[in-house]
Amino acid sequence: MSEFTHRPVLLDECIEALNIRSGGIYLDGTLGRAGHSREIVKRLTTGRLICVDRDQAALDAARERLAPWLDRVELVHSNFDRVDEILDSLSMPAADGMLFDLGVSSPQLDDGSRGFSYMADAPLDMRMDQGEGLTAAGVVNGWSQEELRRVISQYGEERFAPQIAGAIVRRRGDKPIETTLELVEVIKSAMPAKALREKQHPAKRTFQAIRIAVNDELASVERMLQRAVPRLNRGGRLAVITFHSLEDRIVKTGLAGFAKGCTCPPDFPVCVCGKTPDIRLVNKKPILPSQREIEENPRARSAKLRAAEKL
């Protein structure tokens, strides 16, 4: 799909959730191919858009895609879990809206050499930020069998995690596992024939798990929420798109914590904590893509958008 026909996930819903003011300050924490950013920046006049990605390749490509609006844009190579430091470095105390469209981008998956895909042979890398030290090869060849089992089970929700972790450790005892297709072959060798015939690719869940571990994705989302909410202006909006239940649970629980008022035990006669809600949830239930969007873009199938407004 060309970049001009590519439609970002839940685009209209995100734009509505962000409630954009033309003079406001916005932050897109997951620039990717700038699909959402283009639509945000078009709506700004005196406002500014801070575009963050931990992948330098995304920032380089976005410079072209955002060319007509570069006077309103700041491109920042960083992890979105440093959202507070990013705003500090730009002398911006707070933002009026922040968007996080989690996970990997299509260009990262499509570039076989990055090692995210179980369909293309490449060195086992999977780093979103290629300046970071830990690669997928480091996880696969260096982590203990128990750590591998836990990661594949928890982050991949893979029922054959013990068998796959065992097969990885046996294989690397002969020689290190170096490429994506070698890993696919080891994963398949650990699964029963029936599981190999399922619709989903047998390596999908294990690859997701290792990618999450390499990029420390879940902890980044938790840190981001804790640092983003305090840096929203009153009335400012936070919008987060998740793609699997692990991420969604973190976002749902994190937002619920900020939306909660008093935390005193229920048997206290009066409140002593004095806590008041920091945000209100814009929608009680997550916003899901329409059937039409899913047909046009199967990647949207598991997307969930949660939005909150700062009080």
Ligand X SMILES: C[S@@+](CC[C@H](N)C(=O)[O-])C[C@H]1O[C@@H](n2cnc3c(N)ncnc32)[C@H](O)[C@@H]1O
- Binding residues for ligand X (CB under 6 A): 8, 29-30, 32-36, 52-55, 58, 79-81, 101, 103-105, 128, 220
Written as one letter, the residue type at 251 is: V
Beta pairing class for 304-310 and 279-281: antiparallel
From residue 108, give the alpha-carbon distance in Å to each of 105, 127, 133, 238, 251: 5, 10, 18, 25, 24
Residue 271 Cβ vs ligand X, minimum distance, rounded to whole Å: 36
Residue 58 Cβ vs ligand X, minimum distance, rounded to whole Å: 4
Nearer to ligand X, 146 or 296 (CB): 296
Nearer to ligand X, 153 or 220 (CB): 220
Nearer to ligand X, 120 or 264 (CB): 120
Asked if residues 203 and 118 have their Cβ atoms less than 8 Å apart, the reply is yes
What are the start-end ranges of the H helices in the chain?
Answer: 11-18, 35-42, 56-65, 83-89, 106-110, 136-142, 145-154, 161-174, 180-189, 193-196, 204-215, 217-228, 245-259, 291-296
Residue 11 Cβ vs ligand X, minimum distance, rounded to whole Å: 8
Residue 46 Cβ vs ligand X, minimum distance, rounded to whole Å: 24
Residue 43 Cβ vs ligand X, minimum distance, rounded to whole Å: 15
Nearer to ligand X, 36 or 149 (CB): 36
Nearer to ligand X, 61 or 190 (CB): 61
In SS3 terms, 91-142 reads as CCCCEEEEEEECCCCHHHHHCHHHCCCCCCCCECCCCCCCCCCCCHHHHHHH
CA torsion sign, 93 to 96 to 102 to 106? Answer: negative
DSSP state of 283: -
Q: Which two tokens stand for residue 9?
A: 């996930």
**What is the C-alpha separation between 307 and 311, in angstroms, rounded?**
13
Q: Which two tokens stand for residue 147?
A: 């750590």
Nearer to ligand X, 33 or 171 (CB): 33
From residue 219, give the alpha-carbon distance in Å to each of 141, 155, 181: 22, 12, 28
- Which of 101, 104, 103 has its CA nearest to residue 307? 101
Nearer to ligand X, 101 or 202 (CB): 101
Nearer to ligand X, 8 or 289 (CB): 8
Residue 206 Cβ vs ligand X, minimum distance, rounded to whole Å: 20
Sequence-distant (6+) residues with CB within 8 A of 206 are 152, 156, 158, 164, 183, 187
Residue 268 Cβ vs ligand X, minimum distance, rounded to whole Å: 39
CA torsion sign, 17 to 19 to 25 to 31? Answer: positive
Nearer to ligand X, 34 or 152 (CB): 34
Residue 120 Cβ vs ligand X, minimum distance, rounded to whole Å: 18
Residue 308 Cβ vs ligand X, minimum distance, rounded to whole Å: 18
